[in-house]
Amino acid sequence: MNAVIFGAPGSGKGTYASRLQAKLGFDVIAMGDIFREIMKEDSPFGRKIKGYVEKGLLVPDDVVVEVLKKRLSEVPEGRGFLLDGFPRTVEQAKTLEKIAKIDVVILLLVPDWIIVERLSTRRICKNCGAVYNVRFLKPKVEGVCDKCGGVLYQRSDDTAEVIKRRIEVYEAQTRPILRLFKEAGVPFAEAGCDALDTPPEKVVDVILKELKQLNLA
C-alpha cells in the first residue's frame, strides 16, 4: 500500500504515521525529518533549507522533489510507503502522480486551536526524534526521552506566531491538493479529534478501520 497522510501542521501526521508503520509494516517517508537531518549538516544547502523552515515557509518544489525521488528509490520493492509532509503544493501533487501510484489518502481533521496548543507544547528527542507533549504526552522523566535517554527540545518553528503562519500557508497552498486526489479517484480514510487529550491510539484505530473498509489493511 502506498499512502499519503494529510493534515495541517500539528494534526498528528508523524505520531500516527509511526504507529501505523508498526502495525502495517510500510516505510514512512517523513519529509520534515529528512530536511532536519540535512539542516544538521551545516552545509550551504542545509542553511538554505533552515531559512525556509524557521520562517514557516515551504521549501521550493524542485528541491523537495529531488530529495523525495532519492528516498523513494530506497524503499524495498513490494513494501509500500506512507508519505508524511508531501505533497504540500498542487505542483508537488501533479509531480507525485508521475512518479508513484497512491492507493489512499489518510486525512486528519483537527481544529486550529488544538494545533496551536499541541505544537507550542511539543517536545522532540534530539537523538531518535520521538515526539512528546508537556501537557498530555509527557516523558517519564522531564526533558528526557523514554526510548533512548536523549535530550528533549522545542523546535524553533513551534512558536504561536510561526504556527499560525504555517496554518495560513497550509490553507492557501495545500488544501486544494485534496481536490486533485478526489478527481483522480483516490479513496480517502478520514479521522479526527475534537479534544486536546484524545489518545493517539484511538485515532489510529479509526484510521485502521477506514483502511479495512477499503480493503487496504
| Active site residues per annotation | 13, 88, 122, 155, 166
Beta bridge partners of 137: 133
C-alpha cell recorded at residue 214: 477499503
Run of H or E residues at 92? helix 90-99
The CB-side HSE value for 124 (13 A sphere, CA atoms) comes to 17
DSSP-assigned letter for residue 171: I
Q: How far apart are CA 208 and CA 217, in angstroms?
A: 7
CB atoms within 10 A of CB 202: 11
CA–CA gap between residue 123 and residue 133 (Å, rounded): 6
What is the layout of strands, in order, in the sheet containing 27-30? 27-30, 81-84, 2-6, 104-109, 188-192
Residue 89's φ and ψ, nearest 5 degrees, are -140, 160
**Element holding 152 (H helix, E strand):** strand 152-153
